[in-house]
Amino acid sequence: MTPQTPTPTIVVVGHGMVGQRFLEALAERGVTSRARVVVLCEEPRPAYDRVRLTSYFSGATPDDLALVPPGFLAAHSIELRLGDPAESIDRAARTVTSRAGVTFGYDTLVLATGSYPFVPPVPGKDATGCFVYRTIEDLLAIEEYAMTARTGAVVGGGLLGLEAAGALKGLGLDTHIVEFAPRLMPAQVDEGGGAALLRTVESMGLSVRTGVGTSAVTADADGNVTGMTLSDGSSLATDLVVFSAGVRPRDQLARDAGLAVGERGGVVVDAWCRTSDPAVFAIGECALAADGRVYGLVAPGYEMAVTVADVLAGADREESGFTGADLSTKLKLLGVDVASFGDAHGAAPGSLGVVYSDARAGVYKKLVVGQDGTLLGGVLVGDADLYGTLRPLTGSVPPVSPERLVLPAGVGAPPALGPEALPDDAVICSCHHVTKGAICACSSLPEVKKCTKAGTGCGSCVKAVGRLLTAHGNGPADQGLCGCFPYTRSELYEIVRTLRVGSYTELLDSHGREGARGGDGCEVCKPTVGSIIASLAPELGVSGYVLDGEQAALQDTNDHFLANIQRNGSYSIVPRIPGGEITPEKLIVIGEVARDFGLYTKITGGQRIDLFGARVDQLPLIWARLVDAGFESGHAYGKSLRTVKSCVGRTWCRYGVQDSVRMAIDLELRYRGLRSPHKLKSAVSGCARECAEARGKDFGIIATANGWNLYVGGNGGANPRHADLLAQDLDDAGLVRLIDRFLMFYIRTADRLERTSAWLERIEGGLDHVRDVVVGDSLGICAELEALMAAHVAGYRDEWAETINDPERLRRFVSFVNAPDAPDPSVKFVPERDQVKPDLVFLTLEGATAR
């Protein structure tokens, strides 16, 4: 009888991003079917996306960040022990003992312990209110403590430091950044890039101190943080401190076991990630690679994970061991694109820099090239759209000059260069080392992600992947917006956003049809482009006020006067009444305004009050009265959010199961002023009886016992359509997050004057595709959509208040330019039911005379 071969045991210490990638690589190679795999995890939850950690503060839940596919561990018989890290290793016995006292024998041990945050050894570093920024538990603790704080300070202005600062600002704290180096992100960007980044960060309301260190953290008698003393002798008052001054390899377990470690930390490994003990491997941030580096990025860690999986699977890695990795990075920090690649600082002898800088727009681009024109590296701040093309070109001579690559459209000839110009062996996804050829062999983005994993790491390659897939498909026929532009509205949206085009004239001259350039445009494209620029104003760095500068000439009559013109030339005024909730005092003000100006009043179906019959010269006077009482524009004149209607919900109704009024108010205040292809209407019903008629709205919400159901794509009108269920039983944060994504995806891809209902029926894949994008993040753009909405919310300003406080803007509100004090005699009324209505007889006579 043949004796059975014992099943080998692989013990993995650590279950972070790299640890999970290692498990996936083992499963892909069939190793999990012939070995026992045990994972010892210190954290109370399985692996999650630490790169997107900060998105927790913008609504992402821990489940959203999870990296372990449902059923993955069970399907591959992987034993995961949460909250039970390894405490000791006995290399002679080949055992690992966990904190719970359980001992596991191993044939192979893989250390994936990652790194730990470095906290400078300053007095007071352990005071109550001091935190690090590394895990979900850290974020939960910061969030709770911030509820009682007003000011926060971040020690460190690197990648994580800026993310931490953005989180504190998002929590409502006055936020300071203290960086010892002379510039922000010193490892990634040069002096020029750091200056551009500093200007943008400070414009967001954050205070930055560079070139100073932290000498001490001060605390009160109870040990609570009260401030910081800096190395230049100055002090900073703060209630909360986050240390983000870098990380160090977590190598203590290896040290205690007698494994070789580097002089400055890190478990020494060879090209196959073996430690000084052949049975022990180390991967990720805890490893000191054969080239003498400790890599703190996810892409090198993933490559190490695959290297070890290949070794354990018996693959021949003699020619492909891990000897180094690409340190290129592309991130969006505080809403700002920042990227660096290759020799970003120009360290190579004889290298030259090609620089474009626009301090006003916060854009800085620098390419480092060799004497022979070889692209060696670069820094991109504020506009990193070409990163996906430039990084793979590093080490070669680009097919166009470096000047054309950095100059924006309108300044020089636009570069006819994209990922399509790259060779098939160019690496597009550095996280998973996926080439252009492998991507082009796929037919869709979901297939790319499934077969190659491109786009599932940091996400910086998603745009390049999309362009490659489009380039290798069938090109659409000319579906240009109008005779002035050969592009659709959604294409113009991407051009404006990507190239940061802040004016209609610039867009027409750079991207209009040949015969239209230099012209005045038409009545189709002018308001369309005006709406696009207004919707992207915070990101473009231009005024969001629709009547500023050139924008005023692009608007139709209603937007031009921030009110709806009526049949007799008068205007209606609609103040915002979120959720239909209004106090008696505000009702009295509306009544007084209507009485004093002789206006007709009407309660609308959207739970608002319309005031009809105002002359154009009366508009600012009426707005001033309303603004003083706490009202703002209801945007009844714009292609934007109109109302979020609600029933009274569980507060008053015996059938209500959720607080529909509160939710309606929150949503209306969040999306007010959001410019879109068509008007937007919404409603929130407190129970399934649907008194607010939510399913007849562009996005409607119906309460359930477990939360909220979200419906999209409904409308009334000539062709009524019931909204479709997008997601159900959502909590508050999950509901808001999905609406953010849905609205921004609609704004990004809909045609001119296309309601959500028509868009949902037109868009390829319909509701299923929209659900894949906004719920499943199939295109990898949800973080971008959420950031766009966050920028809108942060940048919102009431247009009525903006107008009445600016004498220059008030000059347009006159009936006659040459007689600004004279009222328009054609605006006449007659009485009806104790109010007024337009004088139809006068209008008919006037019309006949005019003809």
Q: Known binding site: residues? A: 647, 653, 687, 691
Contacts of 339 (CB under 8 A, 6+ apart): 328, 329, 330, 331, 378, 379, 380, 381, 384, 387, 460
The rounded distance, in Å, linking the Cα atoms of 851 and 829 is: 22
- Assign 529 to helix, strand or coil: helix
Rg of the chain, C-alpha, whole Å: 30
- State the amino acid at position 216 in one-letter form: A
Locate tokens 């109704």: which residue? 653
Enumerate the known binding-site residues for siroheme.
691
- Cα–Cα distances (Å) from 762 to 286, 474, 740, 766, 783, in that order, read 50, 19, 21, 7, 25
In the block, which residue shows the tokens 């786009």?
A: 455
Q: Which of 382, 654, 428 is nearest to 540 (CA)?
A: 382
Alpha-helix residue ranges (DSSP H) falling in 245-322: 252-256, 298-313
> 573 forms bridges with which residues in the sheet?
611
C-alpha–C-alpha distance, residues 827 and 318, integer Å? 88
With residue 526 as reference, give the H or E element that holds it. Answer: helix 525-535
Name the 3-class secondary structure at 622: helix
The span from the CA of 94 to the CA of 279, in Å, is 9
Alpha carbons 569 and 585: distance in angstroms, whole number: 31
Q: Please compute, for residue 388, the number of CA atoms within 13 A of its CA located in the half-sphere on the CB side.
A: 23
Beta bridge pairs of residue 632: none
**92 burial level (CB within 10 Å; 0-12, 13-18, 19+):** exposed
5: burial class by Cβ within 10 Å (0-12, 13-18, 19+)? exposed
Q: Are 804 and 552 in contact (CB under 8 A)?
A: no
Which bin fits 693, alpha (ψ -120 to 50), beta or left (φ > 0)?
left
Q: What angle do CA 159, 163, 167 make, to 5 degrees?
A: 170
3-class secondary-structure state, position 207: strand
Query: CA-CA distance, 485 to 514, in Å (whole number)?
Result: 9
Order of all β-strands in the sheet with 352-358: 329-333, 336-342, 375-381, 363-369, 352-358
Q: Which one-letter amino acid corresponds to residue 578? A: P
| Residue whose structure tokens are 């059923």 | 71
Q: What distance in Å separates the CA atoms of residue 155 and residue 485, rounded to the nearest whole number?
A: 49
The C-alpha atoms of residue 152 and residue 143 are separated, in whole angstroms, by 12
Computed from CA positions of residues 407, 412, 414, 416, in that sequence, does the dihedral angle turn out positive or negative?
negative
Which residue is it, tokens 């209630």?
239
DSSP state of 616: G
3-state secondary structure (DSSP) of residue 613: strand
Distance CA 3, CA 22 (A): 31
For the annotated binding site for [4Fe-4S] cluster, the residues are: 647, 653, 687, 691
Place of tokens 């070669």: 396
- Report yes or no: 154 and 242 within 8 Å, Cβ to Cβ: yes
Buried b (16+ CB within 10 A) or exposed e, 116-138: bbebeebebeebebbbbbbbbeb
The residues that bridge with 730 in the sheet, in sequence order, are 708
Q: Which residues contact 831 (CB under 8 A, 6 or more apart)?
A: 837
- Neighbouring residues of 718: CB distance < 8 A, sequence distance ≥ 6: none
